[in-house]
Structure 1
Amino acid sequence: MKNFYTDSIPVSPRIQKLKDDLFAQMPQMEADRAVLLTESYRQTEGEPIITRRAKAFEHILKHIPIVIRENELIVGSNTVAPRSSQAFPEFSFEWVEDEFDTMATRTADPFYISEETKARLHEAFKYWKGKTTSELATSYMAPETLTAIEHNIFTPGNYFYNGVGHVTVCYGKILAVGYEGIIAEAEQALAKLKVSDGDYAKRSHFLNAVILSCKAVIDYAHRYAELAMAQAEECVDPERKLELVKIARNCTQVPGKPARNFYEACQSFWFIQQLLQLESSGHSISPGRFDQYMYPYFEKDLKEGKITREKAQELMDCIWVKLNDLNKARDAASAEGFAGYSLFQNLCAGGQDEEGRDVTNDLSFMCVEASMHVGLPQPSLSARVWNGTPHEFLIKCAELTRTGIGLPAYYNDEVIIPSLVSRGLTMADARDYNIIGCVEPQKSAKTEGWHDAAFYNMCRPLELVFSNGMENGVMVGIPTGDVTQMKTFEEFFDAYKKQSEYLIGLLVNADNAIDVAHAERCPLPFLSSMIEDCIGRGKSVQEGGAIYNFTGPQGFGIANMTDSLWAIKKLVYDEKKVSMAEFKRALECNYGQGISEEEAKNITAGIVQGLIEKGETVTEAQIGAVYGMVAQQCCSPEEKQRYEQLLQMIDEVPKYGNDIEEVDAFAREVAYTYSKPLETFKNPRGGIFQAGLYPVSANVPLGAQTGATPDGRLAHTPVADGVSPTSGKDTHGPTAACNSVSRLDHYIASNGTLFNQKFHPSALSGRRGLDNFVSLIRAYFDQKGSHVQFNVVSRETLLDAQKHPENYKTLVVRVAGYSALFTSLSKSLQDDIIKRTQHVFQ
């Protein structure tokens, strides 16, 4: 019987001090990386891009300012100011300049920018016009793809404007061999090459870039060793002096050489995690199975009496705080979709090993304890669950959930492992999966998954069915016929499928264009040094060097689409209570919430002005046609009364999320309209596309760009998140909602599904509440649900936090596939969380 660690350890006073310092001021934009990157690029014009990337990384690490924050035991920061962000102009830059004067005051994720920083960035940005990945990607996209993006059918903005990230590297290997070991591996591969080889030029430059990047990291760590020793010599506090000397010794040893103990392993891990996010602006760089690769160092030190549990817990707590020090500035629109300053650094605990044995250990419990101690959004802790998971581990996880910070999220090995095998992973690799970012599974150190590649709004094709492919006078979709002439529901549903398949093809075109642009302009040699089999293949992950290659865009709005199509089926075709013409008219004028004539004129003027700015000639007839379409949204008093009755009829139609097998079976078919067509496509790296069904928090801003839907949802309001039922429509309790969600095909959505639930705190009170909660998770997973996460907070608390944010500075909630400080979220996103159905156990 395993001797699991279950007793809580008191939190160290140091941790509270580190947290206080972290949140003492607004995050800032800093210019050092952008300036240094530009300096290097100017000096390496004409050299191979992989060489330029490595030399730029070296130049940055050699000259970027470094700091050791007060009370730190784990060191390494990408910025001078806590929780701040560097700029990454090689991916995109124009949005930064456009938002110089608004970034500090915007509603989601503001950043302060000093006048000096603005000037330095402005000067650096001059070099990058025409050289970014985003500009190259745009040039590769088909015109109809750009039209679809412009009309908000989908958004590939994640990698369009940023690095990719969404990866877990070989942390365990680096701890074991150090970067000196990686350098030796690259040198051996280089020695085997012949100058006469057809791919010698590409391979040799890649391997030399790996060597240069790894040496730069070792030198960077030595800069910290020197800084720590310099501070130790001036330090008058004897206890802190000893800490600084120890930090210096650690940074001299790791990450260049193998870690010899748990403290060195912690420091080595942190340099890897930190510097991956300095090489590129990609987020969701996830620590993966921390409790597995760190455990041998902990176990050895504990047995030899070299460390206590309390000291090991403090070191882990320090890492948890550091994970919240990393930050990323996004454009205003993207900030709304990723609100909460989140970097989605997903860290897993529990689960199986490659042979299918449970490997929950002491560190698994201590990971949960660290999240309890620190109480911050990062890391995004995930618990792997299967039949062999110890009950007490789930109780420990439930205790963390009960704190209300939305951690951990729970994942079902019994669904995820076979779904990965179906995508080509070996059984051993699939059993060793970890979660990336929000909810996306992959095998660490072997995968370039391109998770989160785009957001696909499943409601938008339905709008185009009603408009026969047109929007504001532009053909955005394809002609699928006049809906008022469709005789059967099957004909109507088929029109939706055709619209969606066409638009999914455009999404694929956008993702592949961006994929190619990253390979050509921003290959990442440091990241690639830690992914199999880049060194063996002699190519970066961006060029297909990984063992497993995928692209995973995600669809959302399943609940809206299920309830919408079901309402059409029942009210129009089965019961014939409403004509299709009346339904179409109701959607045009937003169920009687339509616009005034003055608003119609203003909207028309805006559309016309946009066409003129594009250089198009606009005739009086065209203006009249645009106004005619916009004016359809105007609504008479008589219509308003009729539409109130229609909304009542819609409300009485059965809804997804209430354990109604007929509706839930249809929801499964609705999900297939996205997941099945997508998996027929391939990406430039030789991999396939795989569907995810989750929105991050984009269901709120993208819902704001979506018209009314036949489920009674009003225009410009949030779309349902992930595979969750529409807020307020799951009226039969949490078990019924779980039963409905479990009937979806979670296996085909191998890029992850996301299921949100919200409980009143009283539901988890006492040991009985925890046992009931664990039983709910077990029952849902027994029915082959894939993922579930929880908010445990009362509606009253959230409403009060909206009114008095100064009293709730540390209130953390679950947003989507991540947690965030509630007061840092936009009001629209706060409202969406408040609106979610609140459950109790009956």
Structure 2
Amino acid sequence: MIEKGFTKPTDRIIRLKNQILNARPYVESERAVLATEAYKETEGLPPILRRAKVAEKIFNELPVTIREDELIVGAITKNPRSTEICPEFSFDWVEAEFETMANRVADPFEIPKETAAELHEAFKYWPGKTTSDLATSYMSKKTKDCMANGVFTVGNYFYGGVGHVCVDYGKILKIGFRGIIAQAVKELELLDRMDPSYIKKQQFYNAIIITYNAAINFAHRYADKADELAKAESNPTRKQELQQVAQNCRRVPENGATTFWEACQTMWFVQCMLQIESSGHSISPGRFDQYMQPYLEADKSIGREFAQELIDCIWIKLNDVNKTRDEVSAQAFAGYAVFQNLCVGGQTEDGLDATNDVSYMCMEAVAHVRLPAPSFSIRVWQDTPDEFLFRAAEVVRLGLGVPAIYNDEVIIPALQNRGVSLADARDYGIVGCVEPQAIHRTEGWHDAAFFNVAKVLEITLNNGKVGDTQLGPVTGEMTNWKSVDDFFEAFNKQMSFFVRHLAEADNCVDIAHAERAPLPFLSAMVDDCMGRGMSVQEGGAIYNFTGPQAFGVADSGDSVYAMKKFVFDDKALTMADLKEALDANFGLAQGAKAAGNGSTEPTEEQVYAAVRQVLVNSNSTDMSTLKDEVYRTLAAGNGNGGGNGKYDGIRRMLDSAPCFGNDIDEVDMIARKCAQIYCKEVEKYKNPRGGQFQAGIYPVSANVLFGKDVGALPDGRPANAPLADGVSPRQGKDVKGPTAAANSVAKLDHFIASNGTLYNQKFLPSALAGDNGLQHFASLVRSYFDHKGMHVQFNVIDRATLLEAQKNPEAHRDLVVRVAGYSAQFVVLAKEVQDDIISRTEQVF
């Protein structure tokens, strides 16, 4: 038998989980107030020392909170699943939403009036002083115009702190914060005063010492709190737990861990303090099984069940972290996403299989906790044990959208191609959604921008215009194109123009962070900042990248193929007719009005008239040919009474074209080319930290939000509709089964998209039932990876369950689904994001 099933969670874990499920997210003001006070007190200091003083004040004065039943302690906020504000990065959008954030479409937060008043007072200090203010001042008007017109957005680091990083948890487990301080002191002593960089390096090391002494005090404050609670506790079992918590917090993370419990507490303190220092999301725990396994093996006194409960507690704590964003960004990241990616499996630096006991215990934790965080991932390669993959399939079958599965055979060479050493590439982890990086050696600036490939296609079709504005270069009217090559010539020029402005925008934000918000706590745990004497924001990491991601690839590929087929090859449609239909959005608004019944489709009489005409005049007996002739007849406006039937017919014709996702080479190669054009443009650019830009193809949930900025497309998609997510086929268009869909996706050049690709599949639960279902699933993954796909993730749920959850959200609060590179509670998602998930093709084997 392959199936093993999962044990039940302890009562403690159920209670802790309910705290998260029942939590009402609040915005809190303590961090903002403390940070503002620290900045006011340090006006004359260099930026790195100001940041150290900010961290010092926060670590020393932020309220200390130990929640009921906790074995692992440390909190960012007083209330569960709430958020603090970091005004040094941006603030005005918060004040603008004081009255609306509680009721907005995506990710609402309560802001009590007293909190709003405290934030308002703190915000008075910040106009003109934030990183976003500085970045904006560096950007050209044209770059800002590109963002305003929906071509791309750099909102992630523009409004927040730097994230998307994995630090050296293993180093802290070994030497503790005291070891970091000792290293900084040693580096200070070795500095050459004649070195021109002496002053900057001296400031950096002093900032480390200040920050890490305060971080030690932060943990000691938790020890004091646990002692206080223990003295007042009447339950002897809980009293003993609190006493041990206090003992743990007095030892770690100041010193190296000596027990598995101490190791778990150390890992969480690091994770928690990184979130406190900066508002950057996607602070990812990395290869948890690799740095935790030695402590499990060495701790002979711990039982397996208690060790599992401690890991479960970390899972709960990861769900306690929350962040608020501006209203528009909240829609792009819908579902209170924080993207803490925890990865297991894969290879060691020596190229041996890395699977261990903790790898499997993490899967058990997913089954026990069943909450959106962490973004749980596994690495697979040719020597991955079948047992490991089957166990992962059992987790997938739970319907939580995890684990996401990554292919070592693609990612390792893709990283090597970017200059990462073999050993470091083998030791990659996933951060954020799907982004691979050489862990604790990289400042990757992943998720640096959303780039709308479909919008660039639309602009190309309109000769560089958005409405009446000449946003891009003049590249020729589409009605003058004689072949698909003419389109690609224009598309390449538009892509080059807009990617250049994307790079400018990202680099402006990058420079602003280096100048105003270097992060000493983070930097000390990223190689080789300590050796180089500079922060990650200034280029201290070994590997430096900037990773903007694209979406709308399948829409673009399908659109270009439809033009090629119906305009240039079959001559069934003129480019002038296509342009007219696109400009009219296929007559959808007019159609609804003409029909008088809210319908945007031709009436039955119109369709029957077209069918009659074709049957009378056609000599063909092939059903596919007859269908095409019916669409052409509707397109010509014949037999349908005029009105909007012409546009409906064109849309139906375009919609009938073969699509990406069905293992059709001619179609898939066009999608591949569209993606490559973007990726090759991106990699032409360098960033201020001395590193290279690298492209990714993943959307978060921006395919829904930014689909609103895109007009009608030649694939038959009407204006403002969602775009395809990541490298996935368009919703409902992959009709030949999961293997055909995976084969199409694998044909994209995943090696060049080294910042990550994202592929969603959705299965009916019956498809994965029993041992046969698990074996079929494992075979699909192996086959897709053999064809050089990079990543795949799954929703295992049926449409009826999702529709029921929409109607009765209170009864489905614990329903978790995969959105994009993360999972979320289905009922907290905006309805349009829910609808996008519902519309994905339901696959069966």
Q: TM-score range by the shorter chain?
A: over 0.9
Report the alpha carbon displacement of residue 588 of structure 1 after superposing the two structures with TM: 1.0
Provide the residue aligned with 1:657 in structure 2: 661
Report the alpha carbon displacement of residue 596 of structure 1 after superposing the two structures with TM: 11
Q: Is 1:132 equivalent to 2:121 in the alignment?
A: no
Q: Does the CA contact (< 8 Å) of 2:3 and 2:770 recur in 1?
A: no
Q: Is 1:668 equivalent to 2:668 in the alignment?
A: no
Provide the residue aligned with 1:556 in structure 2: 551
Matched positions, count: 798
Report the alpha carbon displacement of residue 200 of structure 1 after superposing the two structures with TM: 1.1
Residue 568 of structure 1 aligns to a residue whose secondary structure is helix
Instruction: Specify whether residues 800 and 7 from structure 1 end up closer, same or farther in structure 2 by C-alpha distance, changes over 3 A only.
Output: closer
Q: 1:423 aligns with which of 418, 426, 448?
A: 418
Q: Does the CA contact (< 8 Å) of 2:548 and 2:696 recur in 1?
A: yes
Distance 2:6 2:413 in 1: 35
After superposition, the C-alpha distances for 1:212-260 in whole angstroms (9 at most, x for unaligned) are 1111110000000011001111111100000000000000000010000
Distance 2:356 2:687 in 1: 39
Instruction: Specify whether residues 587 and 565 from structure 1 end up closer, same or farther in structure 2 by C-alpha distance, changes over 3 A only.
Output: same
Instruction: Specify whether residues 284 and 5 from structure 1 end up closer, same or farther in structure 2 by C-alpha distance, changes over 3 A only.
Output: farther
Report the alpha carbon displacement of residue 500 of structure 1 after superposing the two structures with TM: 1.1
Q: Is 1:318 equivalent to 2:281 in the alignment?
A: no
Q: How is 1:637-652 mapped onto 2 (pairs within 5 angstroms)?
A: 638=642, 640-652=644-656
Distance 2:6 2:188 in 1: 50
Provide the residue aligned with 1:610 in structure 2: none
Provide the residue aligned with 1:542 in structure 2: 537
Q: Does the CA contact (< 8 Å) of 1:137 and 1:514 recur in 2?
A: yes
Report the alpha carbon displacement of residue 47 of structure 1 after superposing the two structures with TM: 0.6
Provide the residue aligned with 1:682 in structure 2: 686
Q: How is 1:66-81 mapped onto 2 (pairs within 5 angstroms)?
A: 66-81=64-79
Q: Does the CA contact (< 8 Å) of 2:559 and 2:715 recur in 1?
A: yes
Distance 2:389 2:739 in 1: 18
Provide the residue aligned with 1:155 in structure 2: 153
Q: Does the CA contact (< 8 Å) of 1:402 and 1:761 recur in 2?
A: yes
Report the alpha carbon displacement of residue 195 of structure 1 after superposing the two structures with TM: 2.6
Distance 1:419 1:128 in 2: 42
Provide the residue aligned with 2:740 in structure 1: 736
Q: Is 1:458 equivalent to 2:458 in the alignment?
A: no
Provide the residue aligned with 2:398 in structure 1: 403
Provide the residue aligned with 1:814 in structure 2: 818
Instruction: Specify whether residues 637 and 170 from structure 1 end up closer, same or farther in structure 2 by C-alpha distance, changes over 3 A only.
Output: farther
Provide the residue aligned with 2:30 in structure 1: 32
Residue 757 of structure 1 aligns to a residue whose secondary structure is strand
Residue 28 of structure 2 aligns to a residue whose secondary structure is coil
Q: Partner letter of residue 453 of structure 1?
A: A
After superposition, the C-alpha distances for 1:98-157 in whole angstroms (9 at most, x for unaligned) are 000010011111100000000000000000000011111011111110110110110111
Q: Is 1:794 equivalent to 2:798 in the alignment?
A: yes
Q: Does the CA contact (< 8 Å) of 1:562 and 1:667 recur in 2?
A: yes
Q: Does the CA contact (< 8 Å) of 1:440 and 1:752 recur in 2?
A: yes
Instruction: Specify whether residues 69 and 595 from structure 1 end up closer, same or farther in structure 2 by C-alpha distance, changes over 3 A only.
Output: farther
Moved more, 106-115 or 4-13: 4-13
Distance 2:417 2:278 in 1: 31
Q: Does the CA contact (< 8 Å) of 1:9 and 1:310 recur in 2?
A: no
Q: Does the CA contact (< 8 Å) of 2:591 and 2:644 recur in 1?
A: no
Report the alpha carbon displacement of residue 638 of structure 1 after superposing the two structures with TM: 3.7
- Unpaired runs of 5+ residues, structure 2, are 594-639
Q: 2:193 aligns with which of 184, 192, 195?
A: 195
After superposition, the C-alpha distances for 1:628-658 in whole angstroms (9 at most, x for unaligned) are xxxxxxxx99452111111221122211110
Q: Does the CA contact (< 8 Å) of 2:590 and 2:644 recur in 1?
A: no
Q: How is 1:289-328 mapped onto 2 (pairs within 5 angstroms)?
A: 289-301=287-299, 304=300, 306-328=301-323
Instruction: Specify whether residues 427 and 6 from structure 1 end up closer, same or farther in structure 2 by C-alpha distance, changes over 3 A only.
Output: farther
After superposition, the C-alpha distances for 1:152-174 in whole angstroms (9 at most, x for unaligned) are 11011111101120000000000
Distance 2:832 2:840 in 1: 13
Q: 1:443 aligns with which of 429, 438, 446?
A: 438
Residue 696 of structure 2 aligns to a residue whose secondary structure is coil
Q: Is 1:754 equivalent to 2:758 in the alignment?
A: yes
Provide the residue aligned with 2:176 in structure 1: 178
Q: Does the CA contact (< 8 Å) of 1:30 and 1:87 recur in 2?
A: yes
Q: Does the CA contact (< 8 Å) of 2:21 and 2:814 recur in 1?
A: no
Report the alpha carbon displacement of residue 23 of structure 1 after superposing the two structures with TM: 2.5
Distance 2:772 2:792 in 1: 20
Q: How is 1:469-508 mapped onto 2 (pairs within 5 angstroms)?
A: 469-508=464-503
Distance 2:449 2:588 in 1: 31
Distance 2:528 2:468 in 1: 50
Provide the residue aligned with 1:575 in structure 2: 570
Q: How is 1:696-707 mapped onto 2 (pairs within 5 angstroms)?
A: 696-707=700-711
TM-score, structure 1 normalization: 0.94
Q: Partner letter of residue 750 of structure 1?
A: S
Provide the residue aligned with 2:603 in structure 1: none
Provide the residue aligned with 1:626 in structure 2: none
Q: Partner letter of residue 805 of structure 1?
A: P
After superposition, the C-alpha distances for 1:558-604 in whole angstroms (9 at most, x for unaligned) are 11000000111111111111111111111111111247999xxxxxx
Q: Partner letter of residue 822 of structure 1?
A: F
CA RMSD of aligned residues (A): 1.5
Distance 2:434 2:641 in 1: 46
Provide the residue aligned with 2:786 in structure 1: 782
Q: How is 1:236-251 mapped onto 2 (pairs within 5 angstroms)?
A: 236-251=234-249
Distance 1:704 1:341 in 2: 21
Residue 593 of structure 1 aligns to a residue whose secondary structure is helix
Q: Partner letter of residue 244 of structure 2?
A: K
Report the alpha carbon displacement of residue 496 of structure 1 after superposing the two structures with TM: 1.1
Distance 2:590 2:329 in 1: 28
Residue 27 of structure 2 aligns to a residue whose secondary structure is coil
Q: Partner letter of residue 205 of structure 1?
A: Q
Q: Partner letter of residue 687 of structure 1?
A: G
Provide the residue aligned with 1:63 in structure 2: 61
Q: Partner letter of residue 834 of structure 2?
A: Q
Q: Is 1:388 equivalent to 2:386 in the alignment?
A: no
Q: Is 1:434 equivalent to 2:429 in the alignment?
A: yes
Q: Partner letter of residue 765 of structure 1?
A: A
Q: Is 1:331 equivalent to 2:335 in the alignment?
A: no
Provide the residue aligned with 1:629 in structure 2: none
Q: 1:836 aligns with which of 837, 840, 843?
A: 840
Distance 1:708 1:101 in 2: 35
Distance 2:152 2:499 in 1: 9
Distance 2:6 2:131 in 1: 48
Q: Is 1:93 equivalent to 2:91 in the alignment?
A: yes
Q: Is 1:767 equivalent to 2:794 in the alignment?
A: no
Q: 1:803 aligns with which of 793, 803, 807?
A: 807
- Unpaired runs of 5+ residues, structure 1, are 599-635
Q: Partner letter of residue 395 of structure 1?
A: F
After superposition, the C-alpha distances for 1:744-796 in whole angstroms (9 at most, x for unaligned) are 11100000000000000000111111111111101110111110000000000
Identity of aligned residues (%): 57
Q: Does the CA contact (< 8 Å) of 1:5 and 1:365 recur in 2?
A: no
Report the alpha carbon displacement of residue 207 of structure 1 after superposing the two structures with TM: 0.6
Moved more, 745-754 or 574-583: 574-583
Distance 1:8 1:704 in 2: 42
Distance 2:312 2:8 in 1: 11
Moved more, 570-579 or 827-836: 570-579
Q: Partner letter of residue 327 of structure 1?
A: N
Q: How is 1:95-114 mapped onto 2 (pairs within 5 angstroms)?
A: 95-114=93-112
After superposition, the C-alpha distances for 1:643-677 in whole angstroms (9 at most, x for unaligned) are 11112211222111101112112221111110011
Distance 1:692 1:570 in 2: 29
Q: Does the CA contact (< 8 Å) of 1:6 and 1:365 recur in 2?
A: no
Distance 2:590 2:653 in 1: 23
Residue 749 of structure 1 aligns to a residue whose secondary structure is coil
Provide the residue aligned with 2:528 in structure 1: 533
Report the alpha carbon displacement of residue 7 of structure 1 after superposing the two structures with TM: 7.5
After superposition, the C-alpha distances for 1:540-567 in whole angstroms (9 at most, x for unaligned) are 0000000000000001111100000011
Report the alpha carbon displacement of residue 6 of structure 1 after superposing the two structures with TM: 6.9
